[in-house]
Structure 1
Amino acid sequence: MATFTGAECARCVFWFEETESATQVQRKFCTQYRKEPPSRPTVYSWHKNFVQTGCSVRLARPRVSDATVEQIRESFVRSARKSTRRATRETGNPNVTVWRVLRKSLHLKAYKLSIVQHLTDSDKVVRKEFCMQMFHRIQDDEKIFSDESTFHVSGKVNTHNCRIWGSENPRVSLEHVRDSPKVNVFCALSKYRVYGPFFSMKTTITSIVYLDMLQEFLIPKLDEDDQEGRIYF
């Protein structure tokens, strides 16, 4: 890739101002410097930079000093949950500098907090009692647990349940085919047997579709097995 001096860039900008033609600039450049001229887009870029900044070439971004990096690092060591705006006020550095140091120099990432239900000691006791109660009821009576899922022919997955573990972000994406064919599957489970699977080709599982599926598929099966009225669903 050809390189050009500051004087050559400035001369090209002067010629472009004079002729308003990148082709004329290339010809003058070859005549005076006896080497391959810059491309037309390069000439346009030099002229645009000169008009906007007063300089024909884009100036390099100033390097952040080691002292600034250490200052920002110590700020987040004291409080890792602070915002970049607060760090900007504390350190006196621009917000963009704080961001650049965090991501480029310190290689830190902003992770979201997970919101979970607060459990007290009494909640734990109640949960244990419920589990033991359900355990004994299952032994005495027959409880039915059910669930349903949707399978897409195109390979679409539920990203809420899909995780890829690794030390780095794999940047994996999956193309989604809109309105792709799919099948809905329903299944019920007791301690003695599995009911189903039952398949439905309906586009969307609504309350009406779900009720029809129970009445047509599951309830008749339960009636066959429940001779003493001990099945709970």
Structure 2
Amino acid sequence: MRWNSEERAFAVEAYFSSGCSVVATQRAFRNRFNLAPLAPVPDRKSIVTWVTTFRQTASATKRRTGVPRPVRSRENIEAVRGSMLRSPRRSARKHASALGLSDRSVRRILRDDLHFHAYKMAIVQELTERDFNSRMNASMKPIFIYVGRLTNKTCATGLTPTLDNCIKGLCIHPKSKVWCAISSAGIIGPWFFEENEVTVTVNSDRYVNMLQNFFFPRLEELDLGDTWFQQDGATAHTSRASMAVLREHFPERLISIRGDLEWPARSPDLSPCDFFLWGFLKSLVYVNRPRTLQDLKTNIEEEIANITPAMLTRVMTNARYRFTQCMENEGRHLTDLIFKTM
């Protein structure tokens, strides 16, 4: 409980008047401030602390000496700027240690005063002239469409609804194949490709089963209207059976190999699934170091459930900005992103 200056001063005075008796001080304190029998009074530790402080400073309240130096002073701001320019790859924490400032103060200076933003290096494939044209064409469509990429850790597949929606499958763990859908209206998933609690390979039959028995029913619940479906070129996704089911459910709205619309390859910078969802989940699901596959699955479910509509709205707003910038840059990499090509 917090005690004000008047109460502290009275407790110190009563302590000396009672012959340094804590019990007598508490009794006098209760009578002075008309407290109920069971109302709290200062404990022994508080009274002794106030008395010690009074003996040292002639005040029952601790006071700071000297004039406090503002942390976000002009000198500190310039020091942080210079340190960052000299070593841009060094972490904010190491800069703070070198400058004798707290990590929080340095981060506030970077964000609020210098308007610097953290970046993470991404290794991507180099774009070609053909990619420039396809990226431009995709960015100028009346709807925004997003696609993921296929690596040993991501299975790109999914929904590209109207302006604010996209879907992507994620293989977050070598022994866990996870698929989920992300849109500004909500998230569908996750879906774990398993049989008898054992992770299985995603083939055409299992992919079609997931679409028909899991994805399509939940898509209807969201009531998004006309929706574009986007998927990568994995064999399970582009088999005759899979394509037949998708064409029936998304007539003239299928983004795929041999689909109604081609999506530019080598363009993770234009896909919310790549520039947000995958990295966001990966940064969280391993924080508590899951020891079992079930622990990992639980983490994935909880973190997906914690993604708020406001967060998804910001992601889709950022996607619109990226498309606009892609058109202004004639299909090349975005100017405010740092890429290392290979």
Q: TM-score range by the shorter chain?
A: 0.3 to 0.5
Q: Which has the larger radius of gyration?
A: 1
TM-score when scaled to structure 2? 0.30
TM-score when scaled to structure 1? 0.40
- Of structures 1 and 2, the one with the larger relative CO (CA 8 A, separation 6+) is 2
